[in-house]
Structure 1
Amino acid sequence: MEGSPSFLFEKQLTVVLENHPGTLADVCSCLAVKEINILALSIAEMIDTGELRIVVNNARRAKALLEECGFDVLESEVLVVEMTNEPGVMAQIARRLAKGRVNIEYAYCSASKEGNRVLGVLKVSDASKALDLLADYEKWGES
C-alpha cells in the first residue's frame, strides 16, 4: 500500500478547563512561551467545563509548565497514527483492531484540506496488542 501509516505511542495530556472565553488561549500561551508545540488537540464540551486533550512535542515539560500555570493535568498513553488522507484507511485500522479485540475508547484526527496525510490520535484498550496487530500493515492486502 502506498504511504503506509506509521504507529507510535505518545503521552497525551488532559486538562479540565472552565468553559468560558480565553481559557484555551491561556493554555496555549502557557505552552507557547516555552516553545512547546501542540501536535494534536481535542476539546470535549461538558456543562460548565471542557476536557482538553493534547499531544505535544515534549509532554513531560508541557505537564510541568501547565501545572506551574495552575492547571491540573492528567497524563495517558495514546496511539498516534500518521496515515494517508484517503477513504478507507481509518476503516482498515479500526477493523484490524476490532478483529484483534482491541477497543478504541476515543479518537480524534485532523488533516489540512490540501494535505495528503492525516494525524490520528487513538486511545486503545491494549497498547502492546494494538501495536502487534498494526505492525504488518503493508501485508494486510495479501491476507
Structure 2
Amino acid sequence: MKLARKNVSNIASLDNHYTKKQMKHFQKTQKQLVFRRRRLSLLFVIAAIFLLVSSINIYKNYRELQTLKAEKQTVLKQQKTSAAQKKELTDEVNLLKDTSYVEKLARSKYYLSKDGEKVYNYPQGNETESSK
C-alpha cells in the first residue's frame, strides 16, 4: 500500500505538443457540449412558455365557450316563450277581429247588454268558498 501512495505523488503531466492538442480538443468538445446543453435547455424553456401560453388561451376559450353555450340556452328558452306569447297574441288579435267575440267579451267583462236584455251577476264558486 505504501507503493500506491508513492505513485500518486510521482504522477506528472506531460507537456508536449500531443497533450496540448488533446487538451484543446477536449476543451473544445466540452465547450460544444455546454453550448448544446444551453441551447437545448433554452429550446425547452421556449417550448414550455409556448405550451403555457397556448394552454392559457385554450382554457380561456373553453370558459368563453361554456358561457356562450349557457347564454345560448337562455336565449333559446326566451325565444320559445316569445314564440308562444306571439302565438297567443296573434290568436287574440284574430279573435278580436270577430265581432261576435268582441260583443261576448264586452258583455262578460263590462256587463254590457243589448236593448231589452237583463244582466245577472252571479258570484263565482271560488269567491263564495273564500268568504265562508
TM-score between both structures, scaled by the size of structure 1:
0.16
Whose helix proportion is higher, 1 or 2? 2
Higher RCO, Cα 8 Å, sep 6+ = 1
